[in-house]
Structure formats: C-alpha cells, structure tokens
Amino acid sequence: MKKYVLGFAFSADRSEALLIRKSHPAWQAGMLNGIGGHVEPGEEPIHAMVREFGEETGVTTVLDWEQVCIIYRLFDFECHVFRAIVPGSLDDTGYRTMTDEPVVKARLPLSPHELAIGNLHWLIPLCVDTNDGWEPYHVTGIIKQVGEVQEESDE
C-alpha cells in the first residue's frame, strides 16, 4: 500500500494557508494542493510531513504538526493529513519555493472558482476547525465500500 502525507500550515488567525501549485502528476497540473508527498519505507508519517514540508518550502523548523485524519482507498493508498498553526504570519516562516511547483499563500476560504484539488474544499475547513479545545476528531468506522460504513467494536 502506498503511503502519503499532506499538510496545511495556517496563519495564527487561520485566514491564510500555504499551498502548492501542482505541475505533476498530469491530472493535478495547475491546481492548488496541500504540501506533502510519499512516506519513505520505514519512515513515520510525522517525519515524512516534516521532511516533505522542508523540501518544498525550505522551512526546516519543526512546526507543531497535528494529524487530523487519514484518507484511505482500500488496498491502494493511505494519506495522513496534518495541520500546523503558525504563530503570527505565514511570512514569518520564511517559506519559499524549492521545486518546480510554486508555494503560494492562499486566502481562506478558497473561492469556489479557485482551481484546486476537489477535496481541498472540505479538507481545509476540517483542518482549520480546532473543535473548540476538544480532542481531535477520530474516525470510528472503516469504509467497506462506497456508501457503507462498518462501525468499529470494542471487542
């Protein structure tokens, strides 16, 4: 199974996020996406998030990454989604474009007309939501097939 990480760094007031304008794979070309990539064999997702963020933004400081959810496609891939709230402004991080894919500071909420990967329109609000100080959300079921959820049991 392929493993990926996807991260969203937000300004302290959560009005902006660092995103990347994709040039590859072809189906993402020109679209905004979160920052991330592959988890290397033997690597923990949190370490992959820190590494990928550094490789793409030049920000090597370890931000306070928090895992928000894991997106699965059974037997194919899993994507660990993280968020980090930057104290102050995103400009304070010193981010810059490190690859052929430009890093951009995007105003939130994204416009419905913004060319972005489709799931960003629900992933960003999920990541911005701090749940008013409660524990992070936990998914309590697994998807067996489209539209059918099997609840986990304590047994």
Block means of pLDDT (10 residues each) for the chain, length 155 residues?
96 95 94 97 96 94 86 90 92 94 96 89 88 50 44 49
- Write down the pLDDT at residue 146: 45
Contacts of 135 (CB under 8 A, 6+ apart): none
CATH topology of domain 2-151: Nucleoside Triphosphate Pyrophosphohydrolase (3.90.79)
How high is the pLDDT of residue 130?
67
Q: How is the chain split into domains, by residue range?
A: 2-151
* Span 39-73, pLDDT tens digits: 999 999 999 999 999 999 999 876 789 999 999 88
**Spatial CA neighbour of 7 closest among 137, 123, 105, 134:** 123
